[in-house]
Homo-oligomer: A and B are copies of this chain.
Amino acid sequence: MKRVEPAPWVLAIPPYVPGRSKEEIARIYGVSTPIKLASNENPLGPSPKAMQAVQIALGSSHLYPDPDSRALRGAASRFFGCAPEHIIAGNGSDEILDIICRAFLRPGDEVIIPECTFSYYAIASQACGAVVVPSPMSAHRIDVEGITARLSPKTRIIFVANPNNPTGSYLRAREVEALILAVPDSVLIVVDEAYGAFARASDFSSCVPLTREHGNLVTVHTLSKSHGLAGLRVGFGIACVEVMDSLLRIKPPFNVNNLAQKAGEAAMGDDRFLRETLRVTFKGLNTLAATFERLGLSYVPSQTNFMLVHIGSRCAQVYEDLLRRGIITRHMASFGLPEHLRVSVGTTEEMRSFVMALEEAL
């Protein structure tokens, strides 16, 4: 039987390997209720206001969602401080990244992506037949000069996560501005601010206001972490109307689930939940920093809700040992950092369990 050939670049995308669920890990390691500090989820659960909104909307689940996500984008407009016409809503920020790639990439185009960052930028680019040009990190930080040195006539998109996942580091406002100035207007700069809500550094700035002045800038946002809606998939892209015109032509008509629209709208009005999330996150980061210092482990100061820590040559064993003690962290081998773990901030109690388990595992 002759095979239907996929587009030639598709087979270059790594085949999908299903991960182990919390339940599987619990079973394999004989742990009853593992603590998951592996996916940067909100330890407080979902925004309560969001859950109330879902309850109310439940009975309308047989009706198609609003294709324009009007109410959701209205709430995003207030939350991010920009006009709704400059906002596109997506099925998580992953879909926003996909839509950006599909709107702007042709097979063979080049995309510059820092070496140690969120893995979906490369996958979304490769799915469009683009060529990923990796740009080296500098001491776990994204390096603006490294990026601009890799510009070529074929460069079409640059992806920058600010703050960056999985390092937790950030680019200062003037570094981002330098990047924008150094890049030709014909190259799209995508600044992913998935963790922007957690950035406390005085010289960090969201790029949202800059999207008004720069026609080649898109910022990307998610409610997965700061608002506890990872399971509902709500993300945004913010850009000028010209870029928006192309993104909207690609956007599928009913891309954001109705319950996700309602939850996202309510969550962005849940100031109290966001405040509490930040309080717990900052407290957790302080605990992690103090613990790593006490144990003599070097770590990257974090502007996010997780921390990258250097465990050393025994890292794989420590990772496994933590699993046996019921703590799921993320081993960074697939990011080229086999001696590092990424640890998400948990509740005060979860942080205490992690610290005890780490001390024993080391």
Contact = CB atoms under 8 A, between A and B. Distances in A.
Contacts of A243: 4
Contacts of A216: 4
19 contacts: A4-B243, A8-B106, A15-B248, A16-B251, A18-B67, A18-B68, A36-B63, A45-B59, A46-B59, A61-B263, A62-B229, A65-B231, A91-B95, A91-B233, A92-B254, A94-B255, A98-B252, A231-B258, A233-B254
Nearest to A40: B64
Interface residues of A, number: 87
A347 B253 CA distance: 26
Given A62-B229, A62-B231, A127-B249, 8 more contacts: A2-B186, A4-B215, A5-B104, A7-B104, A46-B58, A46-B59, A60-B231, A95-B255
A278 interface: no
A45 B60 CA distance: 7
Contact of A64 (B98, B120, B230): B230
B185 A1 contact: yes
A4 B70 CA distance: 26
Contacts of A92: 252, 254
A10 B250 contact: yes
Interface string A7-31: 1101101111011010000000000
Contact of A13 (B5, B18, B249): B249
A244 to B, nearest CB: 10
A228 interface: yes
A194 interface: no
B11 A254 contact: no
Contacts of A61: 45-46, 50-51, 54, 228-232, 263
A233 B256 CA distance: 8
A358 interface: no
Contacts of A102: 7, 10, 102, 127-128
Contacts of A253: 94, 120
A263 B98 CA distance: 26
A89 interface: no
A357 to B, nearest CB: 21
A45 B18 contact: no
A94 B55 CA distance: 26
A303 to B, nearest CB: 21
A263 B60 CA distance: 13
A5 B103 CA distance: 9
Given A6-B246, A250-B13, A251-B16, A62 B230 contact: yes
Contacts of A232: 61, 257-259
A105 interface: yes
A105 B106 CA distance: 12
A115 interface: no
A253 B257 CA distance: 16
Interface in A56-104: 57-68, 70, 91-92, 94-95, 98, 102-104
Contacts of A128: 102
